[in-house]
Amino acid sequence: MMRIPDYIGPMAMGLKMGVIVPGMDIVDLVFESVKRCHKDGFLNNGDIICVTESVVARAQNNYVTVEAVSGAIREKLKLSEDGTVGVVFPITSRNRFSMILGSIAEAVPRGKVIVQFSMPWDEVGNQTISPEFVETSGKELLTMDDIGDREFTHPITGMDYIRYYLDIINKAGARGEVILSNDPLAVLELGPDGVIAADIHTRARTKNAICCEHENCITLCELFNSGDVCSDWGLLGSNMSSGGRLKLAPRDGNTVVHRIQQRVRVELGVSVEVLIYGDGAYKDPTSGIYELADPSVTVATTSGLYGFRRGYKLKYLADTLHHQGKTPEEIEVILSCKKAEDLSESSMEREGTTPRPMEDILGSLADLVSGSADAGTPVVLVKNFLG
């Protein structure tokens, strides 16, 4: 086993793997990757194996067709082919939502789809319309009549998502209408037969508000959340794939992480924790976009990662002790003793160290290492994190 020097703290290493396709055993693949680390002395007790959700779902062949989604929507909302469906607060994303919207439109091929965007941003920070235009208009509800011939392109992708989403609906044969309002009840004024609360993190609140006025409302979590092809989040967390299919988030994630953990322990004699992660929970400071388009950073984790990561404010303590005339050597001793203390959450030593769930920190770290552009490292090995 490799002994990491005392002067090295937490570290994360991306592990390169080959192409993973449906039908492969993801537990075997991850184990073989970790086994190489063990052979070269890079695996120790207390290490954490992080696996990106996309390769787990792909190996599981966890795909659903557009036709199946359309049928499920029509059945769930009891829609006729010439019905009207409202879609409230979708994010603006080609990868995450365009195929879902196409499926919704195909559920009512002779009907109508009303898309209600929040404004001026969606819930993950994508611009839906110019903030300056919203402010100048002075309106709480904007329609295509208000927008006219104006184009509002996303500052990063260059897409005009209002017109892009309308094109998707029209190509499916349905009629499209777009409104922008932060009031989830605005869509009800247009008389939809059924409503889909399409937001991610605020979906329960949005659905509850709509259901007070219109009982025929569902969230995307209520579609494909059970059965042979499913995920705990339903359609949320899904991604565009080829062949008219959507790739769902993994199913049975807890089974996967525990199988990996057990195999490493039995065959390699090493005790590790295992995590399946999605999008990291951080906000890009340049674009203002949140990365968290998945309902949760963590899909599944072994029990050793439950709880919060707490600590003490080293900078505050070092400044205080130095101000008291302590030498660097004395400060080192005091700080070492502080680590063993059970500090209360309100103590000054913890000021500024907000407790955060360990699995969210680790998932975000792993996502940054592996990268949304896919660096070919779907497994990330984290060392020296648990102390």
Q: DSSP character for 246? A: E
Q: How far is CA 70 from CA 109, 272, 337, 349, in A?
A: 10, 42, 61, 55
Q: Is the pLDDT of residue 332 over 80?
A: no
* pLDDT of the residue at 285: 82
Q: How confident is the model at residue 239 (pLDDT cuts 50, 70, 90)?
A: very high
Mean pLDDT of the chain: 89
Q: What percentage of the chain reaches a pLDDT higher than 90?
A: 72
Is the pLDDT at 86 greater than 80, yes or no?
Answer: yes
64 contacts 73 by C-beta, under 8 angstroms: no
Of the CA atoms within 13 Å of residue 122, those in its CB half-sphere come to 28
Place of tokens 């990996």: 260
Summarised one tens digit per residue, pLDDT across range 171-225 is 999 999 999 999 999 999 999 999 999 999 999 999 999 999 999 999 999 999 9
What percent of the chain has pLDDT above 70? Answer: 90
Which sequence spans correspond to the domains of the chain? 11-61+249-309+357-383, 63-245, 314-350
pLDDT, average across residues 261-269: 98
Task: Give pLDDT tens digits for 155-169.
Answer: 888 899 999 999 999
Confidence of residue 329 (pLDDT cuts 50, 70, 90): confident
pLDDT tens sequence across 282-326: 888 887 888 788 999 999 999 999 876 555 566 667 777 777 877
- Among 56-70, 75-89, 251-265, 371-385, the least confident range: 371-385
CATH code linked to domain 11-61+249-309+357-383? 3.30.1330.100
Domain 63-245: which CATH number of 1.20.1560, 1.20.58, 1.10.150, 3.40.50:
3.40.50
Ramachandran angles phi, psi of 66, nearest 5°:
-60, -40
| 187-213 as b/e: b if 16+ CB within 10 A | bbeeebbbbbbbbbeebeebbebbeee
Residue 352 pLDDT grade (very low, low, confident, very high; cuts 50, 70, 90): very low
Mean pLDDT of 316-343: 70
